[in-house]
Amino acid sequence: MGQSVAFWQRFVTTKTRPEYRNVGRRCLCGRGTVAAVDDPIRPARRRGALELFTTPLFDPQDPSFHMFDWMVLSDWATDVREVVRFDGDVSVLHVITEFQSPVSQAINYHEGPTTFAMYARTGVVYVTGALLGVTGLVIIYMRWKRQWPPPTPASCSTWHTPAWHALSRASADRLEHTPVK
């Protein structure tokens, strides 16, 4: 282990690659994590659609493979590989993915109007849904309080009383005889 750390400090400096600043500490923490997992983390290889060959990391029966284990663990610590957990009906399998080279792409400025239109549409859909929800709640509240639909002349018994007719005739006469200035 000491030779590996010396090699790492000599040839992979933090000045040239600042993202590797804490890789050694992360690898040591990662080894503890790997050792704490009941089902060991395994690098996977495929030979077909139905076969999956795995080897446990840091297998005590195969110490010649430990250098590769440290390389895989350093890739995991630098976010070049991912650990995936598969929960099955019978058992659980932890697998380290294959090497994924980081990809960086420039922003395509021609997609700006399309992106803005999608965000604007999402905002309109959100506001419309919120207003429909509030309208539904108001209708439910009005039905609960028996205020909706509004009463019609046929549904209201007070509209057919003689007092109501006299009141409506008096107000109509007053409106007809009011002088306009």
CA atoms within 13 A on the CB side of 102: 7
Q: Give me the tens of pLDDT residue by residue for the chain, a chain 181 residues long.
A: 566 666 666 655 555 555 555 555 555 555 555 554 444 555 555 566 656 667 777 777 877 777 777 888 888 877 788 888 888 788 777 777 777 777 788 888 888 899 999 999 999 999 999 999 999 999 888 888 776 666 666 555 555 556 556 656 666 566 555 555 5
Give me the residue spans of the domains in the chain. Answer: 2-96, 108-154
Burial classification of residue 37, based on how many CB atoms lie within 10 Å of its CB (0-12 exposed, 13-18 middle, 19 or more buried): middle
Structure tokens given for 21: 């600043």
List, edge to edge, every strand of the sheet that includes 52-54.
Answer: 52-54, 41-46, 92-96, 83-87
Which amino acid type is present at position 107? I
Name the strand (E) or helix (H) holding 85: strand 83-87
